[in-house]
Structures are given as C-alpha cells and as structure tokens.
C-alpha cells in the first residue's frame, strides 16, 4: 500500500483544521532543510535544519522559549534562549554523539554566510539538539561531514517537508517501529485570532504497547517484530506560530508540546530526553536600535471573560499538531536495516487502518 500521510487515509486528529501544507512551514517564513546520510550497511543518520524566518535569523531574531520534559538529552543554546528569550540561528537536529560536530560545522557555515561578521559585533551560538540513532547507525565512526551540515542548511525552503526516514530522522525509532521526522499544523478560526501553529518532531521514543493513534490503543495489537533492543528514547519538538507572543508566552507552547507526545503514548521515561523549543515569528527583533528599545506586540496575559479566547485554542492547536506530527512520522517511515543487521520495521499501515476503522476513527 502507498505510504500516505495520516490525514490522507481519513485520520482526523483534533478539532482544528490544518494549514494548506499541514506542516510547520505553514507558518509564514519558516523553512526546513534536510540532509540524509546513508552509507554501506551501518550508517543511517542525517541533519534537519529549521529556520524561523525567510531571512537569516541573526538579522531578524524572534522570540522563543524552551521546555525540557525529561532531560536525558541535550539542547545546545538553551541558556541563551532562556536568558534573552531570543532565537537568532537555525535549529539543527541530529544524532546524539554528533551534536558537537554539527555545532562546529554550523558556526563555519554562518561565518561563510556572513563574512563581515566580527567577534566584537557579538557572536551567534547555534541551537543544536539530538536523539540517539545508535541502534541503526555507527555513531562512533563520526559519519557526518561538514558538507552534510552545509547541505541541510542550504536546502532550507518553505512548502512541503519530507517526512519519515530522512534527515535527522534517518536512524530513529518510534514505539519500536521505524520513526523519523514528522510535521503538521493547525489554523485557528477567526474568532480565536486566525493564527497558525506548526510542529516538527524528531521521534525516537515509546514502547510498542503504549502507542495510541487518535486515542485508539493501536500498539497493543502489534506484538510482533519488536526489536531486541528497546530504549525509552527521546523526542525533539519544534513549534512555530505567527501569534504575537512574548518569550514567556511562547514558552507555554513548548510546554504543551509534551501533551501532544503524551496523547500518542509517551510517558517521558526516566531514560528519555524530550526537548521542546517554540518560537513566534510575529515580532522581528533587530540587533540594534537608535535608542536601545523596541516596540513589540504580545497577547494579553491573564484570564478574562471579556477578552477573546486565544491562549487555550493555541494550546490545543499545539497539542494537536504535535500529536499528528508523530503519527505522520510513523506513517511515512520505511523498514530500515542498519548497523549489525539491526532492523526497525515500518508501521503496518493496512492493519493500522483496519484497527482505526473498527474503532470508528476513519473519516472520508
């Protein structure tokens, strides 16, 4: 059966409608680039880059926030974001033990893109995060080169985002099936502001028996082909929105991303790393202004029956987009054989659809 996205099969997760591409790139200006690295029998890895704007992000910084649901993982750049609330570089996703190399390569790429950039003008520290792909990938061979990182960054574009076993998702697992990169979006109705929320995930988490798709306990019906090795895993979530949110507000979207993972069956286990980063493209923050101030817009904090409902719908849209992103990663990923013959099998789509149909969860 052709591997289509979840929604193309009639799966309708949540109550809000997706954007035109049902991807993080539905948030205007957001771009995604990927580089897949597959060599021989034991290299299955890659790099995924998410740009917050259509320009180079150090020219137009955006407000951002992070949330670490469980911290057995790494997110380089978190201190700067948490201190200033600013994202000024692409967000790069890769393999755990390659995170330092990707950081160094990203610095070189930025220097090539901005040759006039001088240390005394202020440096930009790349944001890089990771999941462990060592079940399929020989990470100790350092299989990624500088050009692979450059290629992911240079390939960044809006529009369609490739999903499944691509980029940073090449060697990833999800609920003991083959996982990878997934994305989805939601658009709020006009009465809730009409804002767009998009998510992109790098899935590498979950026990088979816990997998739920649109609330249906699908994983329990697939006891076969569970790999001998099964770790609690990790998941990276990048959330983007065009809602005018300040740093403390957009951090609240990062927190809600964890609820989207929970709806698929994640419990953020003790040995897992769930790293969330969210940003808003509404305010573009320059590096310099004449008087050292900047005028920005933000949503009205607090709860009032006299103000339009915005925060809660944004939270719900985030949860829905993250949940569907995970499912899209599962639906797109293909069975992959890697290091030492280790195998991760793809989610059996036809059987999954039969289960969902039996529970009344497929729609025309």
Residues taking part in catalysis? 234, 272, 274
Contacts of 117 (CB under 8 A, 6+ apart): 110, 111, 123, 124
Residue 93's nearest CA partner among 33, 138, 139, 141 is 33
- Which DSSP letter does residue 164 get? B
3 state SS of 299: coil
What is the distance between the alpha carbons of residues 308 and 337, in angstroms, rounded to a whole number? 51
What is the distance between the alpha carbons of residues 169 and 181, in angstroms, rounded to a whole number? 5
Q: How long, in residues, is the chain?
A: 364
Residues forming a β-bridge with 279: 64, 240
3 state SS of 219: helix
Tokens representing 224 are 């076969």
Q: How far is CA 24 from CA 21, 29, 264, in A?
A: 8, 10, 19
Contacts of 19 (CB under 8 A, 6+ apart): 26, 27, 185, 186, 187, 196, 198
What is the distance between the alpha carbons of residues 260 and 327, in angstroms, rounded to a whole number? 11
Residue 245 CA to chain centroid, in angstroms? 19
DSSP 300-321: PPS--TTS---HHHHHHHHHHH
- Which DSSP letter does residue 177 get? E
What is the distance between the alpha carbons of residues 349 and 282, in angstroms, rounded to a whole number? 38
Torsion of CA 356, 358, 360, 362, to 10 degrees: 40
């Amino acid at each position: 059966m052709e591997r289509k996205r979840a929604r193309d099969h009639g799966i309708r997760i949540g109550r809000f409608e997706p954007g035109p591409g049902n991807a993080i790139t539905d948030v205007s200006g957001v771009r995604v680039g990927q580089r897949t690295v597959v060599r021989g029998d034991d290299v299955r890895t890659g790099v995924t880059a998410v740009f917050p704007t259509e320009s180079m992000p150090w020219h137009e910084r955006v407000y951002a926030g992070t949330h670490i649901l469980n911290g057995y993982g790494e997110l380089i750049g978190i201190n700067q974001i948490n201190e200033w609330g600013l994202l000024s570089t692409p967000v790069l996703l890769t393999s755990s033990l390659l995170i330092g190399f990707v950081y160094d390569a990203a610095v070189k790429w930025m220097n090539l893109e901005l040759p006039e950039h001088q240390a005394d003008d202020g440096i930009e520290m790349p944001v890089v995060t990771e999941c462990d792909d060592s079940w399929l990938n020989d990470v100790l061979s350092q299989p990624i080169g500088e050009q692979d990182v450059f290629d992911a960054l240079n390939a960044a574009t809006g529009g369609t985002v490739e999903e499944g076993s691509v980029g940073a998702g090449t060697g990833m697992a999800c609920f003991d099936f083959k996982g990878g990169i997934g994305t989805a979006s939601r658009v709020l109705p006009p009465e809730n502001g009409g804002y767009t929320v998009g998510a992109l995930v790098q899935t590498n988490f979950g026990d088979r028996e816990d997998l739920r798709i649109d609330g249906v306990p699908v994983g329990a019906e697939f006891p076969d082909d569970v790999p001998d090795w099964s770790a609690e895993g990790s998941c990276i979530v990048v959330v983007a929105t065009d809602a005018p949110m300040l740093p403390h507000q957009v951090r609240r979207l990062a927190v809600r991303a964890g609820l989207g993972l929970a709806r698929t069956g994640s419990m953020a286990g003790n040995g897992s790393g769930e790293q969330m980063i969210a940003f808003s493209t509404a305010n573009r923050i320059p590096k310099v202004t004449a008087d050292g101030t900047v005028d920005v817009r933000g949503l009205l904090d607090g709860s009032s029956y006299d103000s339009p409902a915005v925060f809660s719908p944004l939270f719900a849209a985030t949860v829905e987009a993250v949940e569907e992103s995970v499912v899209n990663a599962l639906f797109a990923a293909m069975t992959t054989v890697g290091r030492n013959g280790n195998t991760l099998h793809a989610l059996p789509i036809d059987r999954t659809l039969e289960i969902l149909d039996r529970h009344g969860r497929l729609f025309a």
